[in-house]
Chains A and B, each alone.
Chain A
Amino acid sequence: MSIDLAVIKKLGGDHLDLSFWEGARRGELLLHRCGICGKHYWPASRCVEHGGTDMAWVPASGRGTVHTYTIMHHAYAPRMAPHVPYCVAVLKLEEGPFFHTNIVDCPMEGIHVGLEVAVRFEEDEVSGLTLPVFAPVA
């Protein structure tokens, strides 16, 4: 089943982001990379130096560190209701870009800035998307 563009648009993305979500469905974390300077971006972007002439989706290592985070004490999204309190973190991925995600398989008190994490994938029945989430590196 292909990714529903309407879902992506509702989330602020567009057709350029489809490859990312198709990758997630295959269990691959992709980043948007400028072929001229090698800088990685997420979500779909034009390179601030070189524009959009050589942007392509490439596989990422799937590892990063917690750059900042918050712990939500209310279920602001239906998917999260069973998980309150839950953590929304912004990671700094190994390749450089920031990435919002949930930290899973980790007690809330174990989460801190600098925590090393690795990707795994969860199905989201609400959006129909496969979401990259992250757990501490063992």
Chain B
Amino acid sequence: MRGRFAIAALGLTEQGIRLGRSDRDLRGDAVERALREAGLERDAIDGYIHCWGEREDLRYLGLSPNFSWALSCGGATPTAGILAAIGMIEAGQAEMVACVYGIAPTSGYIPGVPDLKSIGAHSYGYPSLYGMMGAASAHALHARRHIHLFGTTSEQLGAVAVTQRAYAAVRPGTTGYGKPITLADHQGSPMIVDPFRRLDCCRDTDGGVAILVCKADRARQLSPNPVYILGAGMGQNIANWHKGVPYDHHDNIAPAKARAFAQAGITLADVDMAQLYDPFTISVIMQLEAYGFAPEGHGGPFVAEGGNGPDGPIPTNTAGGQLSGFYATGFTPIIEAIVQLRGQAGAGQLKKADIALCSGHGLNAGVQNSWNHATLLLGNQP
């Protein structure tokens, strides 16, 4: 697996609140940008994976590929899309697959679910009878367990928000650009879904992204700085449900991590940055533990001491993540990994940026919090 496939191009639109553009416009723009970057004509795209659950797209984008799929597993979808793209290339069905995402919830465009006002307001089946609505409530159940088991504090959750805002504050194009916050700001923000305050939660944003996935030798012809897929893995939290510990774990990370690192042939010490799916602050703390950057139960003190900061042992969500950057589902981590691996992060460029760990999770089944977790290892060398 390692280094045989690559991301040849990244097409990234503006990302932000109330852009006033439709989701299709954003996807179309993202595809055009990716094609321009790779110097390709649109007929070069012979596989199309829409990283969202909606069927109609191609005619709006002017594409005519061999196949068009809609993939939907929430924040794990971009990695699932890359794996599906690799599978189709390996099976001889395509050579250049576009994995595309674009939504505009703050402008009234959530593809496939026109009645949904916010992607953070999903209803989760039977628990909705009890007033449990929205992704914040689902994640709060994990946060409460972490607080109960390890004494994690609201201030430690706040440390994640403050550190990530500091990254975003110096990164143009993020929602937090030029707007640093303090721990006092976090503690003063209203309680929304206990233990989450407003500054523990990310916001919906509008934006589009397209990546072009192909064989590594083709990517080298098209790009001076292809980003190589080193390894990937998936895990499903239903296994933890059956074991009675779904809330003690953020996701079922162990099998995803093991497969990804085995494919890449690397260890945790080789990873220069973590780009973690972070709709809520607890997500960062629990993933830093599950991946092994911090000992179990010590994620809170780890972030309070700046372990996730630019000078810490594992710089994490270096453009502000979803909390302070923008929410582009599981593409938020992948985009920043690409930017860092290419050395294009400007003032936020890490000194060493050769291998990135990205994550994503999603498609909560409802009662069981049985969402998928995806691990993706990317590098600037095969």
Contact = CB atoms under 8 A, between A and B. Distances in A.
Interface of A: 11-13, 42-43, 48, 67-77, 79-80, 83, 85-86, 88, 90, 92, 96, 98, 100-102, 113, 124, 127, 129, 131, 133
Given A48-B242, A100-B126, A77 B133 contact: yes
Contacts, number: 98
Given A68-B247, A73-B191, A90-B247, A129 B145 contact: no
Contact of B129 (A74, A92, A113, A131): A131
A67 B247 contact: yes
Nearest to B367: A43
B65 interface: no
A101 B141 contact: no
Given A100-B132, A101-B130, A113-B144, A72 B193 contact: yes
Nearest to B368: A98
A19 to B, nearest CB: 15
Given A73-B192, A88-B137, A68 B148 contact: yes
B129 A68 contact: no
Interface residues of B, number: 33
Given A68-B145, A73-B190, A88-B137, A13 B125 contact: yes
A67 B128 CA distance: 18
Given A72-B131, A85-B194, A100-B132, 7 more contacts: A43-B126, A43-B367, A71-B194, A77-B130, A86-B131, A98-B241, A98-B246
Contacts of A101: 130
A53 B281 CA distance: 43
Q: Which of A85, A88, A124, A129 has the most CB of B within 10 A?
A: A88
Query: Which of A11, A85, A86 is packed against the most chain B CB atoms within 10 Å?
Result: A11
B147 to A, nearest CB: 9
A137 to B, nearest CB: 20
A100 B130 contact: yes
A70 B125 contact: no
B148 A88 contact: no
Given A74-B192, A88-B127, A69 B141 contact: yes
B58 to A, nearest CB: 31
Nearest to B145: A68
Contacts of A131: 129-130
Nearest to A70: B140
A127 B148 contact: no
